[in-house]
Amino acid sequence: MPLSEDEQRILRQIEAELEQDPSFAERGYRVSRRRLALSIAGMIIGLFVTVIGLAVSFLLSFAAFAVVLALGSVALGELRLIGREQIGDLPIRDWLSSTRPPNRD
């Protein structure tokens, strides 16, 4: 659904105000790629402990798997932030001009 002329004018005005604010970019979120790398490394180690832990104790293996799930959740959140950060680099007018792919039902 295209924006009305009034909505486009308001959007351009908001864009202009944000471009003039020098501290706006600094107030945004920062993505920690180190946290992503550590969570992936922890997942790999946790999977190894899960498999080896089956020989020792089911509870140890279960706890290691729970840690893998938690670290997977952290990694997923970091990947989403990275995706948002890259999309956030696009100007709003590029978002508005893009078209959605047709629904395939």
Residue 103 lies in a domain: no
* Average per-residue pLDDT for the chain: 78
What is the tens place of the pLDDT at every residue in 47-86?
Answer: 999 999 999 999 999 999 999 999 999 999 888 877 766 6
Conformational region of residue 3, where left means phi above 0, alpha means psi within -120 to 50, and beta covers everything else: beta
| Helices and strands in the chain: count of H runs, count of E runs | 4, 0
Residue 82 lies in a domain: yes
Per-residue confidence (pLDDT) for residue 96, from 0 to 100: 59
Q: How many domains does the chain have?
A: 1
Residue 101 has pLDDT above 60, yes or no: no
Residues 6+ apart with CB under 8 A from 68: 42, 43, 46, 47, 50
Per-residue confidence (pLDDT) for residue 36, from 0 to 100: 85
Residue 105 has pLDDT above 80, yes or no: no
pTM (2 decimals)?
0.55
Residue 3 has pLDDT above 70, yes or no: yes
Residue 23 lies in a domain: no
User: Are the CB atoms for 50 and 64 separated by under 8 Å?
Assistant: yes
Residue 73 lies in a domain: yes
Residue 70 lies in a domain: yes
- 13 in helix, strand or coil? helix
Domain residues for 87?
A: 55-97
